[in-house]
Amino acid sequence: MSAERRMSSQDRKPDSSPSRGRSPMRRRGPMGHGGPMAMMKGDRARDFKGAMTKLIRYFGSYKIAIVIVILFAIASTVFTIIGPKILGQATTTLFEGVLGQITGTGEGIDFDAIGKILLTTLFLYLGSALFGLIQGWIMSSVSIDITYRFRQDISTKLNRLPLGYFDRVSQGEVLAHITNDVDTINQTLNQSITQIITSAVTLIGVLIMMLTISWQMTLIALLVLPLSALVVLLVVRRSQRYFTQQQDYLGHVNGHVEEMFGGHLVMKAFNGEARSIEQFDGLNNTLYDSAWKSQFLTGLMFPIMNVMGNIGYVAIAVAGGYLAVQQAITVGDIQAFIQYVRSFMRPITQTANISNVLQQTAAAAERIFAFLGEEEEVPETEDPVQVEDVDGHVVFQNVEFGYLPDQIVIKDFSADVQPGQKIALVGPTGAGKTTMVKLLMRFYDVNSGAILIDGRDIKEYERSDLRCMFGMVLQDTWLYNDTILENIRYGKPSATDEEVITAAKAAHVDHFVRTLPEGYNLVLNEEVTNISQGQKQLLTIARAFVIDPKMLILDEATSSVDTRTEILIQEAMERLMKGRTSFIIAHRLSTIRNADWILVMDDGDIVEQGRHEDLLKRKGFYAELYYSQFETAQVAD
């Protein structure tokens, strides 16, 4: 089971060490990387060919379905192409019949022949519609299935990424992959692929039919092609960069909105509305600018193509009239040819439009495959240690670690923690206390040295087994949109209702829960604002009781509760820690007086260690920290 399911509260951010450096993606400003100035207007799609090649390879298991779609699309298009030629015969028959009646040289209109021609045409168009319906149904199934696979792959990838990835990329950026980017590809598959097929078949088929009617008029129609191709080329080259920029900044906007909404209380408390709006406006203006330009350039093609098409119609009408007078072609052929010319211009226009859609699709695919290609956690050992009975003997051997290779946070850390001991980690902010816990849980791997549990390197365990050994209660009270009962049960899904209630009583949760309108069935809202901060902390502690772990990690678990509740929680924690190896990250030093051993950290090193009374007698760094807090408390009083 994943670490998140074992934690009483999630810990997504590294220790607040000043040496770590926060990714600019998390706080974008006008001059920051990822801000409005990061992508200049001249940027182009990074690798259109590579992205589309990967996308095509992704379709590998759908080859048969796509071949069937292609065949049905071709059949549908061929039936449509043949229709005007046969319909032209009806026009010719009608014209010749009327002309014969007028001149008295014919037998009149042959309605039987016209009826047969119309029935044949109707059969062709109905067949075309049927084939189109079938290929559309198949392609919709394929596109939805591929969309499902993409989202499944992205979800699976999320669980394999190291925590370091989420330190440098906002949640909104990741959300954009699974929503905007996947939806873009879905729409392209569902619409554009069949349009490409039908456009190509239509272009070739119509050209052949036009040549069978009149090569002279066909030549006139083809003179429009170079101009059309030039327009398409110019528009695509100009719009390509804006489609890529649009897709990128859609993710940036999502990330900013998600981040600001998630912390809206803090943002309002510090009067950050103006700064938030300024950042949003910068991102939104860039998105607006790129979206407007991409859509404007796409929209230009249609009126321009229509103008060129109308010029072609005039030239063809004049040439057709001249050839009809010369009796080189029939009136029905002219009518059919004009229909073909209209059909001939349509795929060119569609191709121009599809080319822009493909640019947007390539940008989305590139982002998705870049995400799927992100470096994952170090693979699990091939021969993991089987966890049976854990004593809880933890040894840190010359551990060295840095979030960035050139910025070391933990320097040559060594400690020997005996089973059942209560170990307190104390020190100023940024000393590396929380980092040590993350290394212990293998959220990150050490740069050098080793961490041993019961004499075995933690890398020899599967991560899930390793994290099963620990229960965590952190300052960051993570709860989700479900009932109180399920939130307590989150760390151990197999726990019965009785076990959950027992844990709640041990954590002093049961009393306040029973005063709520729906008790344990009360659904916490998404922002968890329908219970107090102290109550949220109590629920995360109850979650740790349910897990009944071999070892505990407590990160100032009582920092968000009142004094009376803190006393009750301390008593409950003493019971919970009894017989278990416990690591207590302490900010208020008064809470760890009874710890078996205190490790005093500063700048990634252990500068002092011992029991509370002994450390005070030394009058060193620990004593200085302790008395400074005591004096601060007196001043506050």
What are the sequence ranges of the domains in the chain? 48-372, 402-636
CATH 3.40.50.300 at 402-636, yes or no: yes
Whole-number pLDDT of residue 451: 93
pLDDT given for residue 561 in this prediction: 58
Burial string for 395-414 (b: 16+ CB within 10 Å, else e) reads bbbebebbbeeeebbbeebe
Banded model confidence at residue 443, pLDDT cuts 50, 70, 90:
confident
Residue where the block lists tokens 């974008």: 28
Span 285-313, mean pLDDT?
A: 79
Give the residue, 22 or 394, on which the prediction is more confident: 394
Q: What architecture is domain 48-372?
A: Up-down Bundle (1.20)
* Mean pLDDT in residue range 169-193: 79
In angstroms, the CA 424 to CA 310 distance is 83
236-245, 465-474, 579-588, 616-625: the lowest-pLDDT one: 236-245
Integer Cα distance of 309 and 352 in angstroms? 14
602 by Cβ neighbours in 10 Å (0-12 / 13-18 / 19+) ranks as middle
| Alpha-carbon gap, residue 523 to 513, rounded angstroms | 12
- The H helix count followed by the E strand count for the chain is 22, 10
Tokens of 246: 């649009």
Q: What is the mean pLDDT of residues 350-360?
A: 72
Residue with tokens 């933990």: 410
Q: What pLDDT score does 31 carry?
A: 31
Q: Which helix (H) or strand (E) holds 513?
A: helix 510-514
Dihedral angle computed from the Cα positions of residues 13, 17, 21 and 27, in that order, rounded to the nearest 10 degrees: 50
Output the DSSP codes for 226-269.
HHHHHHHHHHHHHHHHHHHHHHHHHHHHHHHHHHHHHTHHHHHH
Structure tokens at 163: 């925590």
Which residues, other chains included, contact 156 with Cβ-Cβ below 8 Å and sequence gap of 6+? none
The pLDDT of residue 510: 87
The pLDDT tens digits for 361-410 are: 888 888 888 888 888 888 887 888 887 788 889 999 999 988 887 778 88
Pairing of strands 470-473, 422-426: unpaired
Helix pair 224-262, 215-222: axis angle to 10 deg: 40
pLDDT band at residue 51 using 50, 70 and 90 as cut-offs: confident
pLDDT above 90: residue 450: yes
